[in-house]
Structure 1
Amino acid sequence: MERKWIFFSLHLLFWLLTSWLIISSFSIVQHIVDIDDGAITDNIQRSDELILFFSIGQPFFALYFYLQIYLTKKLVNDKKIVELVWKTALLIILYYALYLTVVYFFFIESIHILWFPSLWYGIFIFYIVISIAYGFIVAWSRNEKDKRQLEIANKQAELNLLRAQLHPHFLFNTMNNLLSMVNQVQNPKLAKSIDTLSNLLRYVVYENNESRVTIAKEIQFIRDFAELNLLRFEEDEVDFKLEVIGQNDQQSIEMSILLCFLENAFKHGIQPEAKSFIHIGIDVSKKQELLFVINNSVHPALEGSQFAGYGLQATKDRLQLAYPNGHTLSIQETKKSYSVTLKIDTDERNSC
């Protein structure tokens, strides 16, 4: 809306300015300068007929101006240059005929004053050049805008195609197809892994529509996440334990609020070909409280690992926003272990 008002204001200013210049400048019929004893007297006489003629002429020039712009930008966009030439010529002839008609039928008695062909031609040529140039500029600008929009549309189409190829349903169907191809008797571990990955994706995609989930779903997500990560290691390399105490697992908590601590444990606390451990304890024996404890090993080669990185800070921020007065977080680190204790006050009235 603001752009339209600017456009309208500029056009109005253009016509007010050019009309004032034409009427004030070309209505002069006599300009007398008297010098008397060093005093200069400037006497300008204007013709009322010329003022009326140019005042009437300006609306006709404005009509021609916008007709020519419309014609130019339309035919340039359609790449019909030859058609533009002959239609422009025809439009000029029609307006020249209109000019002669107006002069001979309404200003015939003042023809000795009005008949300044070079003057009228100059004004008409001025508006012809301006309107055609403006039409070309508008057509070029619109053409460039269309090109940019087409490029954006093409990029969006490519992105949508990629998204369609990676659509969750596509991934789930593909994994189900892979699962059906696996001999579950000969490769039970592979079949289980594909099924677990499918569960993880479903959790992230579908449960993500809600900011909170049940503790039971969060626990199952942790189990699946840990199970897939453990595939990278030999069975005797990582001592992994997950113990859940209590039956009050239908309380709602922030989705994936515990994931960061498990990610850090696998990322920074496990070293291939070395004895490592991750022990997780989840206590939901109290209706309005969740107690989460995770301990993992620390190896000399990983002492430089930054446990308090971006992910941990983001989790702290989430906890502060979601549970400003309802959580406690304690982190302890030694040369051999890293321990996190998190207590969250849940609300049994918000059971999912």
Structure 2
Amino acid sequence: MKKAQIFQLSVIVVLIMFFAEKYFQLETLHGYEYYNRILDITQSEQVAKQFLLLYKVQKLSEYLVLLAIAFASSRFLFTKLELKTKWYISIPVTLFASSILGLIFSLLLSFINPYYSITANNGLANYSEIRMFSHLFLRQSIHVFLAISLGLLFKQLESLLSKNDIKILNLLGARYWVFEFAIHFTVTSLIFAFVQVGQTRSQFALTVPISLSISLATTVMSLIFLNTFTKNAQLDFSKFADKISKCWLLTMGMVSLLYFSVELNLHFGDRYLNVSISSMLIITAILFILFLIITLVHFYFSSKNIRENIALRVELGDTSSSLAQLKSQINPHFLFNSLNSIYGIALAEKSPKTADGVQKLSEMMRFMLKENTQEKISLNKEIEYIHNYIDLQSLRLDTNKHVQLNVSIEQPCDGNISPMLLIPMIENAFKHGVSIDKPSFIDIALKCNEHYVSLNVKNSNHHKEKKVAEESGIGLENVRKRLELLYPEKHLFQVYENEETYEAFIKIELA
């Protein structure tokens, strides 16, 4: 089972446990306390039972809606932010969306439940209706903001784990991350000791599990920090506003895990209204800056060994690639002479399609033997190879009326690229996206400019059983590894799959 699948399964298990816990709380102690609060106000058992049922439905519905918001943000918002690399607009956009949705939820909640300010821990608060609604609006907006942040956090972790080789995690090694965790635990314990001066040993011991949980969370955030602020195994502070916005929003996603775990227990009335939101944000900001600095400083002093590790991996990768290329160059003159003979026979027998196919195949083989041995080639040559491959496959599909092929390739394209990084996605589409008796489609869109090239390939998914022979060749996983080695921090590679379609997207910076 892949790491991303394990992560997704873990998230599902955690969600089931979360809703089970909240339901248990509503059915037992918290439900009983809420019933007593309403009974004290209305002096009617029937009314208290009705509002207790309403309260249970309300709270579970709120969690379901927030879960839907988290899923939507991870599915759509994260993808757009990552593709366009415009995280600097994420915070204002998230705040605006949270305010709008928070206002809608507040109006709906105040209309459904006139006792919305009452929870299991407080009765009727002595505040004006305007102020109570203002704090309801504030609370709902915070909930939406945290739900969006949580969705983005889960998508970021899933994106990291979907890679077969988690670069930062693996390059630094287990010793680095154990030491990182130890630093975070020490700092967190010192903070608790400073805040709770004069506590006994038993009281301090009670904070140890909390410190361990916080340290684990901040260590995970360290992985995200380094993934964002490093390039070629060195600290990189370019596009600082974009990167700091991304890290801050994902940190709030981590904070939301703690918040939602205790949200049902929080007072809405006196306790909630008297808590200074600004001070909470200030404390969160201080901790964010503190652990960000710790992470980057620790990485800085370890970066020399990391770069040596990367250099060794690149050297090993180049050696393996050279061996594979040498093995593929078996009797090239014999193959070209044979193709020329078949080409002449096809022309003599007046078979223009066969002759055209042989010519395309000959050009592709020449590319494989000459261009593919170079470190980088012209992007136009790579695209020419793609055209030849698509034309050759089109000859095979001419008689298949079930296949719809749409190709959009921009040309000319300036710049150089490592060979054979784009074609595997197109090969995969023709290999696994075409059925002889079912409707099939392949959509290929290649865009380029002086800064980057992007390729999006979408095809029908027929759930073919993959045989060993079909798994030969470069493959998408090998492309992913080559991108990690050749274009660190300069590429984006994503795959989306469902029951009907399979889609792969790659974007490479050329500069």
TM-score by length of 2: 0.33
Q: TM-score, normalised by structure 1?
A: 0.47
